[in-house]
Amino acid sequence: MNRGMKHFITVSDYSIEQLDRMIDVAGKLKSKKTELSLKGKTLILLFLNPSLRTRTSFELAMKQLGGWVVTLNAGGDTWKLETEEGMVMDGTSVEHIKDAAKVLGRYADAVGIRAFAKGENWEKDKKDPVIDVFIRYAGVPVINMESSLYHPNQALADIMTIQEKYGKDLKGLPVTITWANHVNPLPMAVPNSILLACSIFGMDIRFVCPAKYDLDTCIVDRAQDLSVISGGKITVTDNISEGFKGSKVVYAKSWGSLQFYGKKKEEQKYRKNLVHWIVDDGKMKLTDNAIFMHCLPVRRGLVVSDSVIDSSSSFVYDEAENRLHAQKSVLYHILGV
Ligand code: CP
């Protein structure tokens, strides 16, 4: 992808110093030690998928910085958008995403896009086609509000949350990123992004998932490279005890299997043997008083027990709050002077 302009697509486009600076600004905004203004700037948010946190926190971030924000739900309060290239548009789609990108770019100083993987063809999805169209045609900075591959704003808020608990230097901090059970094959953007972010910060990562739930090699290889640069470590295991032992952070998320991609029924059959992949008190006891993290929304009783998410070890609401502060910092990085 052409990253010439100041886009925010993945944390792995940024150095540890740049991410640290953005988190520092976010922290100062949170503690009201600084005031920033984006007065007169305009942001358009286009959602191709639902959201609670991302939509609310981006809208409030822009408004609290004094800027303008317009939010559109594709196919709801806009025309139904066609995302395939070269289509004869004789179906239900009324406007091509390329035309929408060109128009929205004329109105705004930056555009935020949420476009999940469609879940049928991974080779197509992994190219992040909607983000790519906006980068090519909008002519303004693009902010990724979760694509097939990345959820950078979530990862930035996650690192900010871990730093609030353990301090700025996260090198060598034992962190468990664990797969959890779910009824649906969910997108991989969150596990991809937290793996990349923890690698940039040199953490001792235990990546725990059952067989057939490995992430795409393009992400794993990039994370390994980033870990080498930062002096971190990545251990991939399907052994839950090994993965949780002595950890300081448990980051839970469910995602779909690449091996069952587009085969939901087959995957649901396979998952019948994976119901024990829930973060509960027993697993948390294996850790070194770890904090529990999840990006939300979360299915209680399936991904995490009530006792864990409602405990004093749970930092899920700090993560959600930090989305607001981190995104203000991202917006100022992109649109500020
Ligand atoms: N974590 C997150 O992105 O939440 P939403 O899907 O509700 O925006």
Same domain, yes or no: 180 and 298:
yes
Looking at the CA of residue 52, tell me the nearest atom of ligand 1. 7
**Is 263 domain-assigned?**
yes
Both 226 and 208 in one domain: the answer is yes
Using a 6 Å cutoff on CB, does residue 296 contact ligand 1?
Answer: yes
182 lines ligand 1 (CB under 6 A): no
Is there a domain that residue 311 lies in?
A: yes
Q: CA dist 134 to 72, 115, 116, 281, Å? A: 15, 11, 14, 44
Distance 45 CA to ligand 1 centre (A): 14
**For residues 88 and 183, what is the distance between their CA atoms, to the nearest angstrom?**
35
Rounded distance between C-alpha atoms, residue 313 and residue 109, angstroms: 40
Residue 298 CA to ligand 1 center (angstroms) comes to 10
Q: pLDDT tens, 180-234? A: 999 999 999 999 999 999 999 999 999 999 999 999 999 999 999 999 999 999 9
Same domain, 211 and 293: yes
Does the pLDDT at position 1 exceed 70? Answer: no
Query: Is the CB–ligand 1 distance for residue 54 below 6 Å?
Result: yes
> How far, in Å, CA of 119 to CA of 122, rounded?
7
Instruction: Calculate mean pLDDT across residues 240-261.
Output: 98
Looking up tokens 């649901």, which residue turns up? Answer: 268
Domain presence at residue 4: no
Nearest to 177 by CA among 151, 146, 198, 160: 198
Are 93 and 82 in contact by the 8 Å Cβ rule? The answer is yes
Q: Would you say residue 6 lies in a domain?
A: no
Together in a domain, 305 and 329: no
86 and 160: one domain? no
Residue carrying the six token digits 């290889």: 221
Ligand 1 centroid to 55 CA: how many Å? 8
Q: Which pair of tokens denotes residue 324? A: 């607001």
Q: Say which CATH number the domain at 118 has.
A: 3.40.50.1370
My answer on whether 112 and 216 are in the same domain is: no
Q: What percent of the chain has pLDDT over 90?
A: 96
Q: How many other CB atoms are there within 10 angstroms of residue 29's CB atom?
A: 21
Mean pLDDT of 155-171: 98
pLDDT 10s digits, 68-106:
999 999 988 899 999 999 999 999 999 999 999 999 999
User: Cα of 293 to ligand 1 centre, how many Å?
Assistant: 14
Query: Are residues 55 and 186 located together in one domain of the fold?
Result: no
Residue nearest to atom 7 of ligand 1 (CA): 52
Tell me the residue range of the domain where 185 lies: 154-319
- Is 62 inside any structural domain? yes
Mean pLDDT in residue range 281-294: 98
Tens-digit pLDDT profile for residues 10-66: 999 999 999 999 999 999 999 999 999 999 999 999 999 999 999 999 999 999 999
Contact of 116 with 187, CB cutoff 8 Å: yes
Looking from the CA of residue 54, the nearest atom of ligand 1 is 8
57 CB less than 6 Å from ligand 1? no
Distance, CA of 188 to CA of 80 (rounded, Å):
25
Residue owning the nearest CA to atom 6 of ligand 1: 51
Alpha carbons 162 and 248: distance in angstroms, whole number: 10
Whether residue 86 lies inside any domain: the answer is yes
Q: Residue 3: which pLDDT band, with cuts at 50, 70 and 90?
A: low
For residue 151, report the distance from its CA to the centre of ligand 1, in Å.
Answer: 9
One domain for residues 104 and 190: no
Yes or no: say if 11 and 155 are a contact pair by the CB < 8 Å rule.
yes
- Cα 233 to Cα 280: distance, rounded to the nearest angstrom: 26
Residue of 45, 47, 52, 194 best suited for mutating to test ligand 1, as the one with most atoms within 8 Å of CB: 52
Q: Is 154 in the pocket of ligand 1 (CB under 6 A)?
A: yes
Contact 210, 274 (CB under 8 A): yes
Residues 54 and 146 occupy one common structural domain: yes
Number of structural domains found in the chain:
2
53 CB near ligand 1 (under 6 Å): yes
Residues 201 and 328 both lie in one domain: no
Task: Specify the residue for token string 């490995």.
Answer: 214
The answer to whether residue 2 scores a pLDDT higher than 80 is: no
Do 204 and 140 belong together in one domain? no
β-pair type (174-179, 110-114): unpaired
73 in the same domain as 165: no
pLDDT at residue 168 tops 70: yes
Q: Is residue 228 part of a domain?
A: yes
Question: Quick one: tokens of 62?
Answer: 């822009």
Which helix (H) or strand (E) segment holds residue 236: the answer is strand 233-237
Position 193 in a domain: yes
